[in-house]
């Protein structure tokens, strides 16, 4: 297969398949038969496997020295290092989430729409990562946003779900408008929206270009949950179906971050101080995320706030990379993106499994509070163990993946050898300890307290739900023990990010 077909297939396949999946599902709703819905689920899984295969073929072309890129009209698309890592995370996590959702969403009102929208979400993230054109980037970003609005407000009978959906829609739409304003300014000043020609034309740091960069940081920052702009995140993450929470936290906010980094790398020659801005936002994110997570009583809300802190680690990595042209720090940022997707994906899926067996499976839409988890390990040993594993990984305990990625970021930061950077290393490391203050009590509750009434009355867990969690857990342990496995992904992504900065 040649590179043009691979690129087009990668981008077009999910978007072509999504309406077909919806139609299959729809037939089963009309005729009350299971066949259509089963076909829809199988087709979703098949499309994701094919996407994975296409990414693999693209890497083969790459390794052989070719480039995987093509033009659609004047729009350039291609699979580079960033596209590879984001595509891998989106497809891999999406695969796990689809399997998890088979029992979770069963017989839910509107089940047939769920898989089609989830596939659109995954496809739009892959497209966003492969786009080499600023306006096209915005179109994918908007498609991602629209499909996730539907998914966040999926339980459309619940007032809380509607509230989080509307909040998310308003904030995200404002963000899109600001990004678009920034792109329009860049288009007016450079006469192009193709990334490379904007890069070569935007050479001087005029105030209007800086204004565009600021608009782009704020706009994408709403999706990436930079701290004063994060207020949609805990609501959306806690009210969405659990599989979607895993997707939102694992890849959607990171996709916003990647879009921001790509756009800032286009402005590399204007000497816009993007490095220091990302670094400051990163530190604020870590502190605010940790402090806000400490006082939460709902499990999914606590995990959502911890996502804000985890995005902070990535921001510190990328900030150091841009500020001091450190190649390793950028790789560390991407590494944390990968490990965070696995760990937070696992944490949300495990919390979702508890939510399902304790509440939603019985038809009651109440939130899973920490007290429900008391002693749950006695009744659900496997899921409790997996949740503990994910939480310890997020806290950064040594044999797990989260430690390795944080370590890489901190080592690269310390390697810069300036007083400021050493202060940042100390700050980040202390915050990592602080984060254990809300991860560890959950594990304590799971194992040491007496079993709560809710947990004692829970339903049994289906093995289909446990399977994707086991896949993610194995990934966390393997990457933690053998972190160089991820080097191919992370260092290629770092190369693609740092190339416009002249590193």
Partner 1 sequence: MSNFPVAFIVILSIISLAGIGFYCLLATRNMIKVIIGLQLMVKGVAMAFILGGNLTGQVNLAQTMALTVIVADTIVAVMGLALAVQVRHRLGTLDIKALSTLKR
> Does residue 19 belong to the site contacting partner 1 (CB under 8 A)?
no
Binding residues among 130-169 for partner 1 as defined by CB under 8 A: 135, 139, 142-143, 145-146, 149-150, 153, 156-157, 159-160, 162-167, 169
In angstroms, what is the C-alpha Rg of the chain? 22
Binds partner 1 by CB under 8 A, chosen from 45, 184, 397, 464: 184
How far is it, in rounded angstroms, from Cα 325 to Cα 503? 6
CA distance 28 to 350: 29
Roughly what angle, to the nearest 10 degrees, separates helices 253-266 and 111-130?
20
* 14 vs 234, beta carbon nearer partner 1: 234
- Which residues are within 8 A (CB) of 212 and not within 5 positions of it... i.e. 6 or more apart? 181, 182, 183, 185, 186, 189, 267
The structure tokens listed for 198 are 């904007």
Cβ-based nearer residue to partner 1, 159 or 502: 159
Does position 358 interact with partner 1 (CB under 8 A)? The reply is: no
Residue 162 or 397: which CB sits closer to partner 1? 162
Write down the least CB distance from residue 295 to partner 1, Å: 9
230 to 259, contacts with partner 1 by CB under 8 A?
234-235, 238-239
Q: Is 177 in the site for partner 1 (CB under 8 A)?
A: yes
> What are the backbone dihedrals phi and psi of residue 66, each rounded to the nearest 5 degrees, phi first?
-85, 175
By CB under 8 A, tell whether 203 contacts partner 1: no
CB of 490 closer than 8 Å to CB of 85: yes
| Closest listed residue to residue 306, CA positions, set 331, 320, 287, 319 | 287
Of 170, 203, 418, 444, the one binding partner 1 by CB under 8 A: 170
Q: Which is nearer to partner 1, 11 or 55 (CB)?
A: 11
For partner 1, which residue of 185, 213, 288, 314 counts as binding (CB under 8 A)?
Answer: 185
3-state SS, residue 68: coil
- Select the residue interacting with partner 1 from 98, 128, 129, 180 (CB under 8 A): 180
Indicate which single residue of 39, 72, 173, 436 sits in contact with partner 1 (rule: CB under 8 A): 173
For the CA atoms of 440, 443, 444, 446, the dihedral, rounded to the nearest 10 degrees, stands at 160
Output the 3-class SS for 160-197.
HHHHHHHHHHHHHHHHHHHHHHHHHHHHHHHCCCEHHH
Window 79 to 138, contacts with partner 1 (CB under 8 A): 135
Contact with partner 1 (CB under 8 A): which of 2, 60, 74, 444? 74
Nearest-angstrom CA–CA distance, 297 and 409: 30
Nearest CB to partner 1, comparing residues 134 and 383 = 134
Give the residue with the Cβ less far from partner 1, 237 or 379: 237
Rounded distance between C-alpha atoms, residue 35 and residue 49, angstroms: 21
Name which of 160 and 464 has its Cβ closer to partner 1.
160
Least CB distance from residue 74 to partner 1, whole Å? 8
User: Judged by CB under 8 A, does residue 191 bind partner 1?
Assistant: yes
For the beta carbon of residue 42, count every other beta carbon within 10 angstroms. Answer: 12
Closer by beta carbon to partner 1, 304 or else 390: 304
CA atoms within 13 A on the CB side of 221: 21
Q: How far is the CB of 193 from partner 1 (least distance, A)?
A: 7
Q: Which is nearer to partner 1, 238 or 405 (CB)?
A: 238
- Judged by CB under 8 A, the residue of 8, 174, 416, 470 near partner 1 is 174
Q: What is the DSSP letter of 153?
A: T
Which residue in 337, 418, 383, 343 sits closest to 87, CA to CA?
337
Q: Are 384 and 347 in contact (CB under 8 A)?
A: no
- Least distance between partner 1 and beta carbon 32 (Å): 25
Give the other-Cβ count within 10 Å of 230's Cβ.
23
Nearer Cβ to partner 1 (76/339): 76
| Least distance CB 460 / partner 1 (angstroms) | 31
Determine the 3-state secondary structure of 326 from DSSP: coil
187 binds partner 1 (CB under 8 A): yes
370 binds partner 1 (CB under 8 A): no
Stretch that binds partner 1, among 5-13, 185-193, 265-273, 431-439 (CB under 8 A): 185-193
Size of the site for partner 1 (CB under 8 A): 38
Q: Looking at beta carbons only, is 2 or 188 nearer to partner 1?
A: 188
CB of 157 to partner 1, least distance (A): 7
Burial of 294 (0-12, 13-18, 19+ CB in 10 A): middle
Shortest reach from residue 253's CB to partner 1, in Å: 18
Which one, of 348, 307, 334, lies nearest residue 483 by Cα?
A: 334
Round to whole Å and give the CA distance between 37 and 35: 6
Of 230, 313, 224, which Cα lies nearest the Cα of 264?
A: 224
- Interface with partner 1 by CB under 8 A: which residues? 74, 135, 139, 142-143, 145-146, 149-150, 153, 156-157, 159-160, 162-167, 169-170, 173-174, 176-177, 180-181, 184-185, 187-188, 191, 193, 234-235, 238-239
């Amino acid at each position: 297969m040649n590179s043009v077909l691979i690129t087009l297939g990668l981008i077009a396949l999910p978007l072509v398949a999504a309406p077909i999946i919806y139609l299959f599902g729809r037939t089963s709703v009309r005729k009350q038969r299971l066949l259509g819905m089963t076909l829809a689920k199988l087709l979703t899984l098949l499309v994701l496997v094919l996407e994975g295969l296409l990414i693999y073929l693209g890497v083969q072309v790459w390794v052989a020295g070719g480039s995987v890129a093509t033009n659609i009209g004047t729009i350039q698309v291609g699979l580079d290092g960033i596209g590879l890592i984001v595509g891998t995370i989106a497809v891999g996590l999406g695969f796990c989430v689809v399997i998890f959702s088979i029992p979770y969403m069963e017989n839910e009102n509107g089940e047939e729409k769920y898989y089609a929208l989830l596939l659109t979400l995954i496809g739009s993230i892959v497209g966003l990562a492969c786009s080499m054109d600023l306006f096209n980037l915005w179109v994918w970003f908007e498609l991602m946003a629209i499909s996730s609005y539907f998914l966040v407000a999926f339980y459309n009978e619940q007032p809380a779900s509607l509230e989080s959906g509307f909040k998310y829609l308003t904030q995200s739409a404002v963000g899109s408008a600001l990004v678009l304003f920034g792109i329009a300014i860049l288009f007016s000043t450079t006469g192009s929206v193709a990334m490379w020609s904007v890069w070569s034309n935007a050479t001087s740091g005029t105030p209007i270009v800086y204004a565009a960069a600021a608009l782009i940081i704020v706009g994408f920052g709403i999706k990436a949950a930079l701290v004063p702009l994060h207020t949609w995140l805990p609501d959306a993450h806690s009210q969405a179906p659990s599989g979607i929470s895993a997707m939102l936290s694992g890849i959607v906010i990171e996709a916003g971050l990647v879009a921001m980094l790509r756009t800032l790398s286009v402005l590399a020659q204007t000497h816009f101080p993007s490095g220091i801005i990302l670094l400051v936002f990163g530190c604020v994110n870590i502190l605010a995320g940790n402090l806000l997570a400490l006082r939460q009583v709902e499990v999914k809300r606590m995990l959502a706030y911890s996502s804000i802190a985890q995005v902070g680690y990535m921001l510190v990595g990328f900030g150091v990379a841009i500020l001091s042209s450190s190649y390793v720090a950028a790789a560390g940022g991407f590494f944390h993106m990968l490990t965070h997707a696995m760990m937070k994906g696992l944490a949300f899926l495990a919390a979702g499994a508890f939510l399902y067996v304790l509440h939603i499976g019985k038809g009651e839409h109440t939130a899973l509070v920490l007290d429900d988890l008391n002693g749950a390990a006695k009744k659900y040993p496997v899921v409790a163990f997996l949740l503990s594993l994910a939480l310890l990984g997020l806290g950064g305990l040594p044999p797990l993946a989260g430690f390795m990625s944080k370590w890489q970021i901190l080592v690269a930061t310390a390697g810069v050898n300036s007083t400021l950077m050493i202060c940042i290393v100390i700050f980040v490391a202390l915050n990592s300890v602080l984060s254990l203050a809300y991860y560890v009590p959950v594990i304590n509750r799971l194992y040491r307290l007496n079993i709560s009434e809710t947990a004692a009355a829970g339903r049994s867990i289906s093995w289909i739900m446990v399977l994707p969690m086991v896949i993610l857990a194995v990934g966390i342990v393997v990457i933690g023990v053998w972190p160089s496995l991820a080097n191919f992904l992370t260092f290629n992504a770092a190369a693609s990010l740092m190339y416009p900065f002249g590193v």
